[in-house]
Chain A
Amino acid sequence: MKHLILLIFLFAFFDAHTTQPHTLIEQANEAYSRSEYSFAAELYQQVIEQGWESADLYYNLGNAYFKINRLGKAILNYERALRLRPNDEDIQYNLHVARNRIVDRIEKRPLLFYEKWWRNAYMMQSATGWGITGIVFLTLFLLLTSFFLFSRTRGIKKISFYTALLFLIFTALSLIFAQKQYNRLTADDQAIILSPRVAAKSSPTVQSPDLFLMHEGTKVQIRNTLGEWVEIRLPDGNVGWIKKETLEVI
């Protein structure tokens, strides 16, 4: 309870001091509307550098980068926005558009139908959303359990037992989904290539032979880090070493 109050205070405190980032965002939105995209991107970036984030902010920044044809940055920010709000249709659409413009076409393994269902289920909400849902379901479960325990009528006892069971299952699922989304959110092994052209090498040295070429906007998985080199893996299974500065972690 004490923490809750503390948190509310914290929010109030932030609210009092957020005038500046909000005006920055307003200026950025105006710049975007005037088609001054690089200026808008700069302003959005400033807000992020002040330590703020939001799905909408990343989305707007992604749009600005898209308009100045920096597809790698655009995709990076769309991915960040999607992490915070995985079910947002606009973000999904723009990410899709941006991905269609990049050079590399990498085929993803198609999901089986139950994998798809599972994915669609947990992608419905973000970690926060699932967390709140879980708490609501938990409360309902406990409420119905007390009904079951203290009711003297047989009918109420029976109904409350089964609904309590159902809510228990819902609670468990919500928390599993929340954990899954949390893992996605905090994963730091996903990155976007930002350099226009990168050759992946077979070992972390400049002299080693080039294995394959990647272009801006391609999403890779980081497997290993060694000094200024990272070992990346493409969705199609190709593995190679590239320099750290050519990519940015989502």
Chain B
Amino acid sequence: MQRIFGIFILIFITAGFSHAGDIEFTASAPASVAVGERFRITYQVNSRPSDFSAPSFAGFRTLSGPSQSSSTSVQIINNQTTRVESFSYTYELEATAEGQFTIPPARVNIDGQNYQSNSVTITVTAATATPPPAPDRQQEALQTEASARDLFIRASASNTNPFQGEQVIVTYEIFTRVSVSQYSVDKLPSYRGFWSENLTAPGQPQTRTQVVDGETYRVAEIRRVALFPQRSGELTIEPLEVEAVVNLPGQRRRQSLFDEFFGGSPFDQRSVRQIIKSNTLRLNVKPLPVQNRPAAFTGMVGTDFEISAHITNKELNPNDATNLRVTISGKGNMRMLEKPDFNFPANLEVFDPNVADNIRNTTSGVSGSRTFEYLMIPRTGGEFVIPPFQFVYFDPSRQQYITRNTPEFTLQVSGDPSQPGTAAGTARQEDIRQLTTDIRFIRTHPINLIPKGTVFYGSRLFYILTALPFMLFSFFLVYWRNHIKLQSNQQLLRNKRAEKIARKRLKKARTFMDKKSENDFYDEIFKALWGYLSDKLSIPVSILNKDTVSGAFKSQKVPQELSKSFLDTLNETEFARFAPGEKEDKMTEIYQKALQTIITIEKDLRSKKNGK
């Protein structure tokens, strides 16, 4: 039962979750490209992935990538916070062969869950532009490519002995003595062990002349990269490959009419495609000094870092929103800058910061600022103190750790600190998290010890206590029976003797009548009537009156007339004493009536008894 219920809950919860946080992970690329064409494939995901693994781009050449970008937006409508995040990974690929290629899905890991993107199918058509030069037109005697002395690329680093995380600017320059009509970067180094940022300014590079070993070269900068070593030790930067189209001076050769007609030049200028590689660079990366390293250091290396912070509104009502804007600027790997870890007070609800970048990649390196905007909502009234945040970075030029602080902020929120805000119902509630399981503590109150093996149930005491109520019950039963029996015996006796006693009393009354003793006569008649009733109906004389009598008659089912005549007799007896007229006649009449009534009632009751 419980288990089924549990499953239901689980279904509801998971349904709720999947609805709340749908992960979308898509790959997008053009559906068809030509051989030799460059294109981008972009993987986009709407949550921060902890791990991204690209598929193999079989059939394509990877020119660069992955380049990452992210965007976040927070919307607050009616206290409902919606966060939209987007992360993308872009590769630049070149199609190398004709056919249809399917790029398998890429994988990301978000909160421990693995997600797959869709796979992409790309049709590569035959090349349409710049067909490769026909080999038969070339003559074997001719120079097929420019020599390394005529054309080479030199890679140079601004600092070959940097600290870990320090910015190193690597410049690639092409030195040429021959005419190069065009060139393009064919393959970027993977920069393993570095974080890289491209610094190349858009547009045509500036050229200059430089004399190397007595030869005059034309020099153009083709690429400039900022590298941030991610680990210490010797790191190697692989060569850069450039595809250049070199115009080589050709020999004058016999021209056909056909050629002349189509505008062939008499000076045979031959264009040769050529791949040139730069030299390999080696950097010896020094680790950051352990000495004097502040605890708050998170790994930022650079120069001229500044931190500024301000709060838009410091006096507000509970459940009002305010912003804390923190800007960190400097020269260094700004894109690796982590969010400031403020020690926010409890009861101040703080959302993840909105990150805005103003990062410039100039020829002198990466610099700029990153702004974190925290949305804060106090849930109660009172004073909220946001302690200073320490930003620590390592300055390689000064070879020391430098700390920058934000000021301490105090928020004044109206209302009682103990009272939750009026709209506290909207406050986020969290389940109590179980950190670990341990047994509960021992019992320290005095322990009631019992001798081992004593069990109350089944013990002698138990049986005694069980028998006790039975005994009491049977005692009571026996006692009550006897009592009732005794009582009924007495009643029976009195019942039997009722008539006799009545007759005796009447007899006595008669003697009084003869003596003309009026009062005694009536007394005796009264006693005879009442006594008879008391005995016969088992009603004590003390509670006997006309009402109880008529009630008792009713319950004994004595006919109405009988009970009426009895009561009449009683009434008459009462009145006769004081009534005027012949006293002796009256007495005789009452006597007769009383006798008659008792006889008839006796008869009636007896017949009922026998009838039973």
A59 touches B460 (CB 8 A): no
| A3-B460, A97-B437, A178-B457 known; A51+B452 contact, CB < 8 A | yes
CA distance A54 to B443 in the complex (A): 11
User: In the assembled complex, which residues on chain A have CB atoms less than 8 Å from the CB atom of B443?
Assistant: 56, 59-60, 90
User: In the assembled complex, which residues on chain A have CB atoms less than 8 Å from the CB atom of B444?
Assistant: 29
Interface residues of B in 205-253 (CB under 8 A from A): none
B466 touches A60 (CB 8 A): no
* Interface residues of A, count at CB 8 A: 54
Q: Which residue of A lies closest to B472 (CB)?
A: A142
User: In the assembled complex, which residues on chain A have CB atoms less than 8 Å from the CB atom of B466?
Assistant: 134-135, 138
In the complex, identify which listed stretch (B103-111, B292-300, B473-481, B596-604) lies at the interface while the others stay far away: B473-481
User: When the two chains form the complex, which single residue of B453, B455, B470 contacts A182, counting CB atoms closer than 8 Å?
Assistant: B455
User: When the two chains form the complex, which single residue of A51, A54, A128 contacts B456, counting CB atoms closer than 8 Å?
Assistant: A128
B469 touches A138 (CB 8 A): yes
A60 touches B446 (CB 8 A): no
**Min distance, Cβ A34 to any Cβ of chain B, angstroms:** 12
Q: Tell me if A's interface is mostly helix, strand, loop or mixed.
A: helix
A22 touches B451 (CB 8 A): no
* Interface residues of B, count at CB 8 A: 36
**Min distance, Cβ A15 to any Cβ of chain B, angstroms:** 10
Q: Which residue of A lies closest to B463 (CB)?
A: A3
**Min distance, Cβ B474 to any Cβ of chain A, angstroms:** 9
CA distance A127 to B456 in the complex (A): 8
Q: Which residue of A lies closest to B444 (CB)?
A: A29
CA distance A131 to B456 in the complex (A): 7
- Flag whether B135 is at the interface (Cβ < 8 A): no
Interface residues of A in 73-103 (CB under 8 A from B): 90, 93-94, 97-98, 100
User: When the two chains form the complex, which single residue of B440, B450, B456, B462 contacts A90, counting CB atoms closer than 8 Å?
Assistant: B440
| A3-B460, A56-B447, A135-B469 known; A146+B442 contact, CB < 8 A | no
A25 touches B447 (CB 8 A): yes
Interface residues of B in 1-55 (CB under 8 A from A): 1, 3
User: In the assembled complex, which residues on chain A have CB atoms less than 8 Å from the CB atom of B472?
Assistant: 142
- Flag whether A132 is at the interface (Cβ < 8 A): yes
User: In the assembled complex, which residues on chain B have CB atoms less than 8 Å from the CB atom of A130?
Assistant: 457
User: In the assembled complex, which residues on chain A have CB atoms less than 8 Å from the CB atom of B451?
Assistant: 14, 51-53
User: In the assembled complex, which residues on chain B have CB atoms less than 8 Å from the CB atom of A14?
Assistant: 451
CA distance A63 to B451 in the complex (A): 22
User: In the assembled complex, which residues on chain B have CB atoms less than 8 Å from the CB atom of A1?
Assistant: 464
B1 touches A4 (CB 8 A): no
User: In the assembled complex, which residues on chain A have CB atoms less than 8 Å from the CB atom of B440?
Assistant: 63, 90, 93-94
- Flag whether B543 is at the interface (Cβ < 8 A): no
User: When the two chains form the complex, which single residue of B442, B452, B453 contacts A63, counting CB atoms closer than 8 Å?
Assistant: B442
- Flag whether A122 is at the interface (Cβ < 8 A): no
**Min distance, Cβ B448 to any Cβ of chain A, angstroms:** 6
User: In the assembled complex, which residues on chain B have CB atoms less than 8 Å from the CB atom of A149?
Assistant: 477
A54 touches B441 (CB 8 A): no
A7 touches B461 (CB 8 A): yes
- Flag whether A32 is at the interface (Cβ < 8 A): yes
A128 touches B457 (CB 8 A): yes
A131 touches B457 (CB 8 A): yes
User: In the assembled complex, which residues on chain A have CB atoms less than 8 Å from the CB atom of B470?
Assistant: 138, 142
B456 touches A132 (CB 8 A): yes
User: In the assembled complex, which residues on chain B have CB atoms less than 8 Å from the CB atom of A185?
Assistant: 455
A178-189 CB mask vs B (1 if < 8 Å, else 0) is 110110011000
Q: Which residue of A lies closest to B461 (CB)?
A: A7
17 contacts across the A-B interface (CB closer than 8 A): A1-B464, A21-B449, A22-B447, A25-B447, A53-B449, A53-B450, A56-B443, A56-B445, A57-B447, A59-B442, A63-B441, A90-B440, A90-B443, A97-B439, A135-B465, A146-B477, A149-B477
Nearest 6 pairs of A and B residues by beta carbon:
A131-B457, A128-B456, A127-B457, A60-B442, A56-B443, A94-B439
Binding site for B on A (CB under 8 A): 1, 3-4, 7, 14, 18, 21-22, 25, 29, 32, 47-48, 51-54, 56-57, 59-60, 63-64, 66-67, 90, 93-94, 97-98, 100, 110, 113, 116, 127-128, 130-132, 134-135, 138-139, 142, 145-146, 149-150, 178-179, 181-182, 185-186
Binding site for A on B (CB under 8 A): 1, 3, 437-453, 455-458, 460-462, 464-466, 469-470, 472-473, 476-477, 480
Q: Knowing that A53-B449, A56-B443 are A-B contacts, what are 15 other residue pairs whose CB atoms are under 8 Å apart, sorted by A's residue number? A: A4-B461, A7-B461, A21-B449, A22-B447, A52-B451, A56-B445, A63-B442, A93-B440, A97-B437, A97-B438, A113-B1, A128-B457, A135-B462, A138-B466, A142-B470
